[in-house]
């Protein structure tokens, strides 16, 4: 394992010291100016900020003036410090397949896939779902086959299904499902044995050539997706194109931007590179925002946060900024109580946003785009006493692309009833789906997929041609 990289200001004031014994808790930071142990990333950032401001010669500027929407100089430095605690792995660099863009949408909280793609003929489902049950007789439903239907709130995806550009996988899950939001996502993000500390998307970037684009890979969210952790380059987390800018209550924004740039120039090492990367990203995003954007083909993204995110992503893809991988968060799917009202709104946001993106991109561009949804687990087949559902197992995943097979994949549907628990059983490992997206979607060869998903033998899923 390579030694951890040293993080420093130009006065060499802050070092990372690594002691490896198989226990990551023994990694720590030392302030070499005082000799004291730094006990948290937040404390390290406070020290770094104080010295950055000293270097910039601008003690009068308030800390808030350097914070940006989504991820600015300081929030990105925090991210970089956190990721530097993970070992790096070096791989050979080759082009990222055929230039297709991967858009990963995380349905955080454990989405109830049974309320999005419903097995309407399943007797067990119909008898155990009372307030949350979806039926074929509801206005707006769309019958997919003799087993499944799209719920009314997912009507935005009907046209993609009819055109054969939507595949759906039932019973997808994480190996060794723990029913824990955090543990399941950590396992999905890593998609590798525990000794690997990097995310699978980070390893995907490592095995493919860096096109030097500012936006080669980024998270359209308030934080970087865990699957990017450990990437050998600085990555942006952009909560909104409109808000990705220096924030301040002061009137002289030109001066504030000038101070931010002086800070970037005064800081050395990886922290300085991160600051410069962030400021350059802000400049390009601000130019995109100022240029405005009119979706094509009459697409309407609506006013939801997910809709705005997908609109931004469509704009930057069309602007030919070299985007290869983007992640998006769509949260609040943890519906333990009052599921019907909460989930219906979330499902409508998802269906409408994906439908608008598909319409906006058009059939030609969709040949070079793969959208994949993932959630950490499904929900129980049986309702609880609070008219909600609890943490379950197997879930549904959507693959939206001009390369889609247009089928429901995952093998023969065995039904929800089983003798063990109240779960939709897991039949497709999430890593097999990721492998097929890389191979048939992005054109990555099997040898490099083996580096991205070490120790795993993917099985065919059937979502992409």
pLDDT digits (tens, 9 = 90+) for 155-176: 999 999 999 999 999 999 998 9
Burial (CB < 10 A; 0-12, 13-18, 19+), residue 373, is buried
Assess whether pLDDT exceeds 70 at residue 51. Answer: no
Tell me the mean pLDDT in the region 422-439. Answer: 97
Q: Using CA atoms, how far apart are residues 278 and 204, in angstroms rounded to an integer?
A: 22
Decide if 115 contacts 100 (C-beta within 8 A). Answer: no
pLDDT in tens, 166-216: 999 999 999 899 999 999 999 999 999 999 999 999 999 999 888 888 899
Per the document, the length of the chain is: 465
pLDDT confidence of residue 421: 84
Q: For residue 72, is it within any domain?
A: no
Domain around 390: 101-208+293-452
Alpha helices in 175-268 (DSSP H): 181-190, 200-206, 253-266
Q: For residue 355, is it within any domain?
A: yes
Q: Using CA atoms, how far apart are residues 385 and 383, in angstroms rounded to an integer?
A: 7
pLDDT confidence of residue 282: 81
Q: Using CA atoms, how far apart are residues 262 and 256, in angstroms rounded to an integer?
A: 10
pLDDT confidence of residue 211: 86
Decide if 361 contacts 311 (C-beta within 8 A). Answer: no
Domains contained in the chain, number: 1
> For the domain that residue 374 is a member of, what is the CATH number?
3.40.720
Q: For residue 324, is it within any domain?
A: yes
Q: For residue 348, is it within any domain?
A: yes
Tell me the mean pLDDT in the region 263-285. Answer: 71
**How crowded is the C-beta side of 339, counted as CA atoms within 13 Å?**
31
pLDDT confidence of residue 460: 98
Q: For residue 1, is it within any domain?
A: no
Q: For residue 194, is it within any domain?
A: yes
> CA of 440: how far to CAs of 109, 184, 342, 391, in Å?
29, 26, 35, 32
Tell me the mean pLDDT in the region 88-92. Answer: 38
Q: For residue 196, is it within any domain?
A: yes
Token digits of residue 207: 């095995």
Assess whether pLDDT exceeds 90 at residue 28. Answer: no
**Percentage of the chain with pLDDT > 70?**
72
Strands 369-374 and 325-330: unpaired
pLDDT confidence of residue 19: 37
pTM attached to this predicted model? 0.79
Q: For residue 86, is it within any domain?
A: no
Assess whether pLDDT exceeds 80 at residue 244. Answer: no
pLDDT confidence of residue 279: 75
């Amino acid at each position: 394992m390579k030694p951890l990289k040293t993080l420093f200001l130009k006065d060499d004031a802050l070092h990372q010291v690594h002691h490896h014994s198989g226990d990551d808790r023994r990694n720590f930071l030392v302030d070499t100016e005082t000799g004291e142990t730094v006990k948290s990333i937040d404390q390290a950032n406070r020290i770094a900020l104080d010295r950055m401001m000293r270097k910039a010669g601008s003690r009068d500027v308030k800390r808030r003036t350097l914070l940006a929407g989504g991820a600015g100089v300081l929030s990105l430095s925090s991210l970089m410090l956190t990721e530097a605690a993970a070992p790096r792995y070096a791989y050979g660099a080759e082009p990222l397949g055929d230039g297709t863009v991967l858009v990963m949408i995380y349905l955080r909280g454990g989405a109830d896939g049974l309320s999005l793609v419903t097995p309407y003929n399943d007797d067990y489902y119909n008898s155990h779902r009372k307030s949350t049950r979806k039926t074929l007789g509801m206005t707006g439903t769309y019958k997919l086959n003799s087993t499944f239907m799209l719920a009314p709130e997912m009507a935005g995806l009907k046209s993609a299904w009819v055109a054969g550009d939507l595949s759906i996988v039932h019973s997808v899950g994480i190996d060794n499902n723990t029913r824990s939001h955090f543990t399941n996502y950590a396992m999905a993000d890593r998609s590798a044995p525990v000794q690997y500390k990097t995310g699978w998307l980070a390893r995907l970037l490592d095995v493919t050539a860096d096109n030097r684009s500012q936006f080669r890979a980024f998270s359209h969210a308030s934080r970087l997706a865990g699957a990017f952790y450990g990437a050998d380059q600085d990555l942006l987390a952009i909560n909104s194109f409109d808000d990705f800018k220096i924030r301040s209550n002061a009137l002289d924004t030109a001066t504030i931007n000038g101070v931010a740039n002086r800070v970037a120039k005064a800081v050395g090492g990886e922290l300085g590179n991160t600051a410069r990367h962030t400021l350059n990203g802000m400049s390009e995003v601000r130019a995109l925002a100022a240029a405005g954007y009119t979706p094509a083909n009459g697409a309407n993204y609506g006013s939801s946060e997910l809709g705005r995110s997908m609109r931004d992503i469509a704009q930057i893809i069309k602007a030919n900024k070299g985007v290869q991988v983007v992640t998006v968060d769509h949260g609040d799917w943890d519906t333990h109580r009052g599921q019907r009202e909460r989930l219906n709104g979330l499902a409508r946001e998802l269906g409408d946003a994906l439908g608008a993106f598909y319409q906006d991109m058009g059939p030609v561009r969709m040949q070079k785009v793969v959208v994949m949804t993932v959630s950490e687990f499904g929900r129980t087949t049986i309702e609880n006493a609070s008219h909600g559902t609890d943490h379950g197992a197997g879930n549904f995943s959507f693959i939206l692309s001009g390369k889609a097979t247009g089928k429901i994949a995952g093998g023969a549907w065995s039904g929800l009833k089983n003798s063990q628990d109240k779960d939709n059983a897991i039949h497709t490992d999430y890593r097999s789906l990721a492998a097929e997206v890389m191979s048939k979607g992005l054109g990555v060869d099997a040898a490099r997929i083996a580096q991205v998903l070490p120790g795993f033998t993917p099985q065919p899923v059937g979502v992409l041609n």
